[in-house]
Structure 1
Amino acid sequence: MQEVKGSGKKYVVLVPLALQGHITCMLQLGSILHSRGFSIIVAHPQHNSPNPQNQPEFDFVSLPDNVSSLEDTSFSNVLEILSTIFANFGSPLQDYLVQIMEKHEIVCIIYDSVMHFVDSIATHLKLPSIVMRPHTAAYNLSDLTIIRLYSENKLPMQESQLEEIVPGFHPFRFKDMSYLVTSSQMDDGGCQFWKDLNNIGSSRAIIYNTIEDLESSPLSLLQEHYKVPLFCIGPFHKFGPPIQTSLLKADNSCIAWLDLQPPNSVLYISFGSGSTMDEKQLIEAAWGLVKSEQSFIWVVRSESVNESKWLEKMPEDIQQVIRERGLIVKWAPQKEILAHSAVGGFWNHGGWNSVLESICEGIPMICTPFMADHGVITRYVTHVWRVGLEMESTSKREVIEKTIQRLMVDIEGKEMKKRALDMKQHLEVCVEKGGPSYDSIDKLTEFITSLSLNK
């Protein structure tokens, strides 16, 4: 086993989920805690291993997970990947922790909420644990709502019910929650899995990558449910210097291209590291972009579709327009792009990291939800904060054209831009000294320190 640096230090052990957005949040949290004097160990699965050179101040240990034995290790096979990690990662993690405990003090273990089995390991080793939830409090509450609906024999729901507002959960509709609300595959075993993901066990607290006054209502309900301290210290990425967390290599040439564009003229398009569009959807999106007459940067990951062939199926004159008006890249430096004055809108998948990064730069959005928490977050963007528009992934080119123009050209989009800038200013206050997120980090630091003192 790999030895950690130094001796006599008090360590916080972070256990991330091996998916890009989750790894990003955990490493950002690690940077926050390191800035408060804690030594950080990142104990992670071998699958999607982060690059230790990007955070040399951390100790990284890669532990066996058996994912390499699977024929398909792409995101499309994520459920089997997670099942394999759940079955194989726990024992090596426990052995590693025992070894570390012989020489160093582990103050606590902080684990991604999906890695729920870590709590039982911590309990067995008599180590305090804390849950890190990289998403909104509202999504946590939507999970608990799904569990309740199943226990009341109200699942699966009919298509005709999906537009209805969930009782006690305004303004969220049933369709904004997980696909499980309509799935006939939701059975006792599936419900138990969902319960496991939302059961904190003996964990002492929950950390959210959110802002307290943006989610006061769901947080109040979650406090009543879990009865442990909730620390809202988001947005994680606004604390400390920027860190490199991406598992993919970004094409930085797009920044020079942006430098040549007028202010607020470019639509940035990225559907994250896991969402996919089929060839037909990509072609419709391309037609909609061309018809909207807006400049753009469009991220099309190589594993999401055969990016060379789908474009070749477009008429030659349309291909030429696409090349002249925008850039298509395999991955991009998202935070730098959103901070650029040329960017006026962001078409995304409703992923929480992307939405937080967008509102932190005052950029209004188009959200196309694909899975998981995307629906809940999209509803926040469109109906609570009113800084964006929703567009289905199956939308035709005419709808895409009109939606882009609404965001980038129409008065409606300008009003969203103003509200987005107001949110940006508010979040800047939240992360400053005396702001709620800053104060919550102070309280979290004191809480973790107390865990060591009370051993």
Structure 2
Amino acid sequence: MEPISSPVEMFFFPFVGGGHQIPMIDMARMFAAHGAESIIISTPKHALSFRETILRDQQLGRRIFIEILLLPENIDIADTDMSAIPVTDTSMLQEPLKKLLLQRKPDCIVHDMFHHWAADAIGNLELDIPRIVFNGNGCFANCARENISKFKPHEKVDSKYEPFVVPGLPNRIEMTRSQLPVTRIVEDNMRKSKENCYGVVVNSFYELEPAYVEQFRKGNKAWIVGPVSLYNRNIADKAERGKKAAVDEQSILGWLDSKPPNSVLYISFGSSPRFAPQQVLELAYGLQASNQAFIWVIRDVFKGDGTWFLSEFEEKMKESEQGLIINGWAPQLLILEHGSVGGFMTHCGWNSTLEGVSCGVPMITWPISAEQFYNEKLVTDVLKIGVRVGSLDWLWWNMEPRVSVGRDMVEAAVKRLMGGGEEGGEMRKKARLIGEMAKKAVEGGGSSYVDAIALINELEDRRRINK
């Protein structure tokens, strides 16, 4: 068999939201580290957030590049906070993408599920380019969503808070109608993306959810290649992942170094949630009452004017040395992997969930939207490495914010996980074991490593056959 004269050329076309762009950049870097040529397709504005990281990879000899899609003059695509239905329209990129595909004819294109129009765009070119979808969820969430859509158990209960069992899953999973996503347009776009695609890449690892990987693969050709966050191996990559941190990472690490092992609770709700000011107040009072050391990342996304309170609270926590508040972007990976961090209060976005898992940190789950209630079930009911804070209602970001979790609920969840009891200790042990499995999965011979190499080899074989 003749050798391949040049590396497999893979296009990566991320969506414009941080939670979708970040893992696809990690994935492109991972495939380049495995010998492929990775081309990241972006716009002038969005490429700025990862340009320095790509330059560092190029200096290591990796074949990874950025292709900029030129837009009409004075037009750019805004970062989405997933607050509108449908989410940010990126279809203006269709014609520039077609031109690039005709010019380069890559061995495949991996695109985000929200670029659902890419299916028609690529199909209309009549080019034999495998189209691979990245949907940003784990296998458990995908299986739960598919079975609820197929069997409709939520239509057989009398109220939105009456539990029902999700049929056809390896574990007994109970949910309520109040926890289910109501974004039919988004669900339709996901379905359109998958129609007639070559396959799906998933940011997960087999050992995390083996029964659900097997179930997902019954209906999908899939490569399980994560956790892709683990390909960020130097401090600069971790500190600048997504955006430049709002606070110098050394000052954060210095604060963490001053705390005992497993004593700090890290709190972050991703890049999109908007809480009512009263909800922020309840969270703050619950944290204060718990007497637990914490780092709380507050991005400028809260509805209403709570500045006066947060400034006062921040000063009080600084004086007592109980808490450190970061206003803006935080180096999440650096924080989670620090030995003093013993818990993670999270909105259960899949990236955050997987990063917590990869760092071996148990969680306090506070799902809000998207597929986050599914992820909570994986963490608490399947893996048993998390404590529910008690949120019950699925909320789209542009819905009127309200108080869903009181200060007593916050305090109770923090003490349950971080208070030194047997239950929290067992969760921490399980989380550490799973974290070790995650690291082994991406190393040579690990399950995710093998899947990534298998995809590269398959694309090489296609090129030989079609030569």
Measured against the shorter chain, the TM-score band is 0.7 to 0.9
Q: 1:432 aligns with which of 443, 446, 451?
A: 443
Q: Does 1:233 align with 2:235?
A: no
Tell me by how many angstroms 1:348 deviates: 0.9
Deviates more, 1:114-123 or 1:129-138: 114-123
The residue number in structure 1 matching 2:175 is: 174
Q: Does 1:413 align with 2:413?
A: no
Q: Once the two structures are superposed, what CA deviation does each residue of 1:106-147 show, in whole Å capped at 9, x if it has no partner?
A: 111111122222222223331221112322012222332343
Separation (CA, whole Å) in 2 of partners of 1:217 and 1:67: 50
CA contact (8 A) 2:43 2:70 kept: yes
Tell me by how many angstroms 1:215 deviates: 2.3
Separation (CA, whole Å) in 2 of partners of 1:370 and 1:177: 11
The residue number in structure 2 matching 1:220 is: 214
Q: Once the two structures are superposed, what CA deviation does each residue of 1:195-226 show, in whole Å capped at 9, x if it has no partner?
A: 44134233222111111233233333322223
Residue type of the alignment partner of 1:391: V
CA contact (8 A) 1:122 1:128 kept: no
Q: Once the two structures are superposed, what CA deviation does each residue of 1:6-42 show, in whole Å capped at 9, x if it has no partner?
A: x977521111011112111111111111112222221
Q: 1:94 aligns with which of 77, 98, 121?
A: 98
Q: Once the two structures are superposed, what CA deviation does each residue of 1:174-197 show, in whole Å capped at 9, x if it has no partner?
A: 3389634xx5xx7xxx36x52441
Q: 1:25 aligns with which of 14, 23, 26?
A: 23
Q: 1:332 aligns with which of 330, 333, 355?
A: 330
SS in 1 for 2:165: coil
Q: 2:81 aligns with which of 61, 75, 92?
A: 75
Deviates more, 1:371-380 or 1:248-257: 248-257
**Change beyond 3 A, Cα 1:219–1:176:** farther
The residue number in structure 1 matching 2:142 is: 140
**Change beyond 3 A, Cα 1:116–1:451:** farther
Residue type of the alignment partner of 2:191: N
Separation (CA, whole Å) in 2 of partners of 1:147 and 1:162: 18
Structure 2 counterparts to residues 252-331 of structure 1, below 5 A: 252=249, 253-305=251-303, 308-312=307-311, 320-321=316-317, 323-324=319-320, 325-330=322-327, 331=329
The residue number in structure 2 matching 1:376 is: 374
Q: Give identity over the alignment, percent.
A: 25
CA contact (8 A) 1:348 1:365 kept: yes
CA contact (8 A) 1:128 1:451 kept: no
**Change beyond 3 A, Cα 1:76–1:218:** closer
Separation (CA, whole Å) in 2 of partners of 1:157 and 1:64: 51
Structure 2 counterparts to residues 10-159 of structure 1, below 5 A: 10-45=8-43, 48-49=46-47, 50-56=49-55, 57=58, 58-63=64-69, 75=81, 77-82=83-88, 84-85=89-90, 87-98=91-102, 100-101=103-104, 105-125=105-125, 126=127, 127-149=129-151, 155=155, 158-159=158-159
The residue number in structure 2 matching 1:249 is: 245
5+ long unaligned stretches in structure 2: 59-63, 392-403
**Change beyond 3 A, Cα 1:408–1:176:** farther
Deviates more, 1:350-359 or 1:425-434: 425-434
SS in 2 for 1:304: coil
**Change beyond 3 A, Cα 1:392–1:323:** farther
CA contact (8 A) 1:264 1:342 kept: yes
The residue number in structure 1 matching 2:200 is: 206
Residue type of the alignment partner of 2:200: I
Tell me by how many angstroms 1:89 deviates: 2.1
Q: Does 1:395 align with 2:405?
A: yes
Tell me by how many angstroms 1:364 deviates: 1.0
Alignment RMSD, CA only?
Answer: 3.0
Paired residues, what number?
428
CA contact (8 A) 1:210 1:234 kept: yes
Runs of 4+ in structure 1 off by over 4 angstroms are 7-10, 45-49, 64-74, 154-158
**Change beyond 3 A, Cα 1:307–1:92:** farther
Tell me by how many angstroms 1:262 deviates: 1.5
**Change beyond 3 A, Cα 1:107–1:74:** closer
5+ long unaligned stretches in structure 1: 1-6
SS in 1 for 2:295: strand
CA contact (8 A) 1:19 1:48 kept: no
Q: 2:190 aligns with which of 180, 197, 219?
A: 197
**Change beyond 3 A, Cα 1:403–1:52:** same
**Change beyond 3 A, Cα 1:329–1:313:** closer
**Change beyond 3 A, Cα 1:89–1:380:** same
Separation (CA, whole Å) in 2 of partners of 1:156 and 1:123: 40
Residue type of the alignment partner of 1:171: R
CA contact (8 A) 2:273 2:301 kept: no
CA contact (8 A) 2:43 2:76 kept: no
**Change beyond 3 A, Cα 1:322–1:256:** closer
SS in 2 for 1:159: coil
Tell me by how many angstroms 1:65 deviates: 6.9
CA contact (8 A) 2:290 2:414 kept: yes
SS in 1 for 2:107: strand
The residue number in structure 2 matching 1:3 is: none
Q: 1:359 aligns with which of 357, 360, 364?
A: 357
Deviates more, 1:359-368 or 1:249-258: 249-258
Residue type of the alignment partner of 1:384: V
Separation (CA, whole Å) in 2 of partners of 1:272 and 1:421: 23
Deviates more, 1:139-148 or 1:327-336: 139-148
Deviates more, 1:411-420 or 1:441-450: 441-450
Residue type of the alignment partner of 1:320: K
The residue number in structure 1 matching 2:401 is: none
**Change beyond 3 A, Cα 1:284–1:322:** farther
SS in 2 for 1:207: strand
Residue type of the alignment partner of 2:326: V
Separation (CA, whole Å) in 1 of partners of 2:208 and 2:370: 20
Tell me by how many angstroms 1:250 deviates: 3.8
**Change beyond 3 A, Cα 1:295–1:66:** farther
